[in-house]
Amino acid sequence: MTAAPCSRQLFSTTPVAQTKTIRAHRLPGELIPPYPYGERRLYKQSNRGLYGSARIRYGNIVAGRGTKTRTFWRPNVHVKIFHVAALGARIKTRLTLRVLKTIRREGGLENYLLKSKPARIKELGPGGWNMRWLLMQSQAIQRRFNDERVALGLEPKEVEDRDDLIRFALDWATPGALSLRSKDTLEALRTAFHGGLVLGNEDLESIEGVEELSDEDEASLLQQLEEADAAGDAEAETHAEQKQPQL
């Protein structure tokens, strides 16, 4: 009789890459320069995500007999997780479907956040501004900006090591206790601010319990948005043709 071959389970010694999933609305805003356009006073929920110019819209529903009923429409908001290679983390945030469409067109969240035109900065809102600032602290983005400066004939800037600050911000935005490294960074920051640094905001909106938008649902919703935009353009074109004077 021949002995049955011994089955062995192979284990890899390669460490698994660890990534953190942070909630963008938990980033420590006290460390970040103030948003140049200030917080939005209308639809304050948009301060905690990527809502673009979306707001609650109000109007009337007209019945068959001409009866008007006052109503409102909320923005089409979803939750999405993006992997940000420059930070080595995943960012979980609320965003509207139109912003998601723009992110896909720009080639990812990093390109969307880093675009520096005034219209984009205004579209980001305070939440996007915080994510943009954190992204700009990474060495990868600093090198990217230096490449752009060199291409324009400008002198590159020194690439600074701000990894401790980035790790602290990511740790702060992750549920749970701070790591020892982050606690040391916090103490150093408080010392630098002479004890005047106070972090924590109980008014931040929680996104617990909200289901993440899957890739399949995203593709379906973006297709519906494309069809709705095309139908709207066709209707506007037809309306414009009808308004043209007959010769």
pLDDT exceeds 70 at position 4: no
Provide the residue type at 217 as one letter: D
Give φ, ψ of 202 to 5 degrees. -75, -10
The residue length of the chain stands at: 247
Note the pLDDT of residue 40.
Answer: 86
Which of residues 194 and 221 earns the better pLDDT score? 221
Provide the residue type at 152 as one letter: L
Whether the CA torsion 32, 171, 113, 41 is positive or negative: it is: negative
What's the pTM value of the predicted model, to 2 decimals?
0.72
Note the pLDDT of residue 59.
Answer: 84
For the segment 132-151, the average pLDDT, to the nearest whole number, is: 92
Q: Which domains does the chain have, with CATH numbers?
A: 21-186 (2.30.170.40)
98: left (phi over 0), alpha (psi -120 to 50) or beta: alpha
For the segment 145-153, the average pLDDT, to the nearest whole number, is: 92
Whether the CA torsion 184, 186, 187, 188 is positive or negative: it is: positive
For the segment 209-233, the average pLDDT, to the nearest whole number, is: 73
Rounded CA gap, 34 and 45, in Å?
Answer: 18
pLDDT exceeds 70 at position 174: yes
